[in-house]
Amino acid sequence: MDPVRIAVVGMGKIARDQHLPAIAGDSGFSLAATVSPHDPGVAGVPHHKSLDALLAEGPPVDAVALCTPPQVRYELAAGALKRGVHVFLEKPPGATLAEVAALEARAERVGASLFAGWHSRFAAGVAPARAWLSDRTVKQVSIIWREDVRVWHPGQAWIWEPGGLGVFDPGINALSIATHILPRPFFLKAATLMLPANRAAPIAADLAFCDTAGAPIHMDLDWRQTGPQSWDIIVETDAGTLKLSRGGAVLTLPSGTTHSEDREYAGLYARFSTLIRTGRSDVDTDPLRLVADAFLRGKREQVEAFEE
């Protein structure tokens, strides 16, 4: 079977750090083109300044990976799907739930695959954590996701604009894991969002969730942490404590700790390949729904201005 000819649209940090190496390492894909109005692309690979130009002028592509900010992703995805091109949506899959639903319906109509890629779900410890929790009773959950925005999102003004999610851009990674591993659905009870005086999106948040059996789930998000970063999920159960750390790469169970290398994006592209081969889509919006609920129900508090 010939490799899927894929174009990467949006050549920012996530595309260069993760998507390009993952594509290069997967024999099921070949990098056919890149698209960016500002970045010059990759040596030896055709480059266009817009997706419309690529689709009109070639080279031909079977799929696109959209690595742009979410606020502009709907039009790009809709244009690709209109031509029957498979679409990989970097997280979050869109700026609103309604636009993602519209894309899912369009993909089904045209027979193309649409993939909402939650990369943290492919961290090494996530699948075994899900399996271990499947027959346990969860008593309480603590999620601590604290990092330094200057390190991970330097100069990315879009992330502070409406639709950019602010601290929920990394926080949604934690929610993508939690919604995947916890055995029961959960929902928001209360939230406080801390917004810098000069920004439209929060820099920190404190959230209280509850699962359908009443177990409390507390989430602490902060983009102001310097030094060691914290990406931890701790689940207290009737059989002891489970901890996922380093964003899901390290799993600690009562029986011991396992460490594994980062293979998140390799897992994403393997999944995308399977979806294309089998004619299916995978568009889970549960993490984005919880973030939307936080903006819907959360109390706002103004904090000091944030400057790069």
Please list the active-site residues: 91
| 158 CB neighbour count, 10 Å cutoff | 17
Residue of 239, 234, 185 whose CA lies nearest to 214: 185
> In a 3-state reduction of DSSP, which class is residue 174?
helix
Crossing angle, helix 97-110 and helix 286-297, to 10 degrees? 150
Ramachandran area for residue 125 (φ above 0: left; ψ -120 to 50: alpha; else beta): alpha
Query: Measured between alpha carbons, how far is 70 from 283 in angstroms, rounded to an integer?
Result: 15
Q: Which residues contact 217 (CB under 8 A, 6 or more apart)?
A: 140, 141, 142, 143, 178, 182, 186, 208, 209, 210, 211
> In a 3-state reduction of DSSP, which class is residue 307?
coil
| 8 CB neighbour count, 10 Å cutoff | 25
